[in-house]
């Protein structure tokens, strides 16, 4: 997976999200992913970049926590 590319992603549990941008934690300088849920209230969340890329157990082995689906459609 090309890490931290803005666009639409599917979480391994099935829901979709938009990766908005990358940010840096103001105290630890850790890279963070800023993303929005594409369901419900469309909440904006932040997750450490290392967790975004982290492989998780799935059918037949490991899979990415977030799989890139493509760019967001412009409206």
Dihedral sign from CA coordinates of 27, 31, 34, 35: negative
Q: What is the mean pLDDT of residues 16-30?
A: 96
Tokens of 58: 């799935």
Domain spans, the chain = 7-70
Instruction: Check if the beta carbon of residue 63 is closer than 8 Å to that of residue 53.
Output: no
Instruction: Check if the beta carbon of residue 74 is closer than 8 Å to that of residue 55.
Output: no
Task: Grade residue 1 by pLDDT with cuts at 50, 70 and 90.
Answer: very low
Q: Which one, of 45, 33, 43, 39, lies nearest residue 4 by Cα?
A: 33
7-70 classified as CATH 2.30.30.320:
yes
Q: Is the pLDDT of residue 2 over 80?
A: no
pLDDT in tens, 33-73: 999 999 999 999 999 999 998 999 987 889 999 999 999 98
């Amino acid at each position: 997976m090309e890490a931290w590319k803005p666009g639409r992603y599917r979480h391994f549990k099935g829901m979709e999200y938009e990766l908005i941008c990358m940010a840096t934690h103001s105290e630890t300088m850790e890279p963070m992913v800023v993303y929005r849920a594409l369901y419900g209230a469309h909440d904006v969340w932040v997750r450490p970049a290392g967790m975004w890329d982290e492989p998780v157990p799935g059918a037949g082995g490991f899979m990415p926590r977030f799989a890139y689906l493509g760019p967001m459609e412009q409206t």
